[in-house]
Amino acid sequence: MLATTTSVSVPHVVIIGGGFGGLETAKSLRKSDVQVTLVDRHNYHLFQPLLYQVATGGLSPANIATPLRSIFRRQANCEVLLAEVQDFDLDDKRLLLADGELKYDHLVVAAGATHSYFGHEEWASVAPGLKTLQDATSIRRKVFLAFEAAERERDPKIREQMMTFVVVGGGPTGVELAGALSEIARHTIRNDFRHIHPEDARIVIVEAAEHVLAHYPEALCQRAANLIRDLGIEIHTKTRVTKVTENEVCLSSEEGDQAIGTQTVLWAAGVHGSPLGSRLARACGLETDRAGRVGVTNRMNIEGRDEVFVIGDLANCTDGNGVRMPGLAPVAIQQGQYVAKKIVATLSGIQINEPFVYRDRGTMATIGRAKAVVQVGKRESVGFIAWLMWLVVHLLQIVQFQNRLLILFQWGWNYLTFSRSARIITGDDRVILIRDELVDDKSATNEKVTGMQVEK
């Protein structure tokens, strides 16, 4: 028998997911007379906005991950449970775990989202997305192995493929990834190789919308696009990906179709609600939307179930002003605060009928080295000052004080020396037979059979 919580007489609030939304909900309940159980598959809270820094070797995984237990060490009414939720029994108010079950009085589902290939799940193996620490270390591995392979490749066409990096999606993640790749190629590893010039790497952003960073005002988008091009990055807007294989990506736009030879496609395009979303929807007799999200009222609860809330990237909702909520950390955080307040009020017999209202405090994204775009209300900023703002805001949001200092130190160091010390290739204990991964046509196979000679 598995024990999770001791017998309690106070109401039991179960929160699924230790991301921004779940964490904030649990913290907001710290002074309330409830028992909180925070369930997560991982033992850490992940600061996702900096995941691209891990993927590009600027930070270590532990720098942006904080153990959930240490966050809640002093919050006596909160218990952390490392477990995987498999299904919901809403009538009986219980969760089915992979290895047991868990009863609740109030349920907050903040299970987040994963990336979506818009129905082309077969692209997942060649075009990794960036949502988890595992994703980040796989991308890090893929990127740095590409340069290693190019260093050894003699065929100029294949070498060009190896040194071409295509980022699908021109939102903040895509732009930040591409900017970091450019910094790596042009500065970090510039003098590391003997047979290639890393600064010749071709970096491409593919975006379906009219602009990169499309949710910013148009003037800002234009200035951002210029900054991105200054880094030597190609931007293909109004362009869709029609095919991804191990050595090319096919694009389609109004101007026609084209294929780019590349062995590294990084996926920063669509998001799709966690699989838990569809299970929850099914348990309610509902369906998720096309993005796998669960529809909730503007009070964040499921229609007809006052005790079941969905917040963050998994929730499909408009707020009290009728604004559709984007998948951003501040939205999840404010929803967490709202839901906690609503639960506490219910316990005191008060009914909060005011809907959730999102206060937009602005958005920001970095573009490569020491440049950023920031929008706060009607004020906009592009460049170095914007980057300093980005830096301060992100550092302050990091949960653990030690990590703030470590990241500040590491960034300062990386900035001054152009280095990226975390660019180690980990994963499989053997080195991947780089050559084998990419050989799939006959001529190359023959070459392999006849033996590849390395000449001095």
Q: What's the start-to-end Cα distance of the chain, in Å?
A: 65
Shortest Å, Cβ 46 to a second copy: 9
Shortest Å, Cβ 59 to a second copy: 9
Residue nearer to a second copy on the CB measure, 132 or 253: 132
Shortest Å, Cβ 135 to a second copy: 9
Shortest Å, Cβ 345 to a second copy: 23
Coil, strand or helix at 435: helix
| Contact yes or no for 162/149 (Cβ under 8 A) | yes
Shortest Å, Cβ 436 to a second copy: 8
Is 84 buried (19+), middle (13-18) or exposed (0-12) by CB count in 10 A?
exposed
Coil, strand or helix at 211: coil
Residue nearer to a second copy on the CB measure, 384 or 413: 413
User: Catalytic one among 24, 79, 153, 176?
Assistant: 176
Residue nearer to a second copy on the CB measure, 237 or 419: 419
Residue nearer to a second copy on the CB measure, 65 or 317: 65
| Contact yes or no for 15/110 (Cβ under 8 A) | yes
Residue 197: partners with Cβ closer than 8 Å, 6 or more residues away = 190
**Helix 172-183 × helix 218-230 angle, to 10°:** 20
148 is catalytic: no
Residue nearer to a second copy on the CB measure, 121 or 455: 455
Coil, strand or helix at 123: helix
The residues assigned a catalytic role are 176
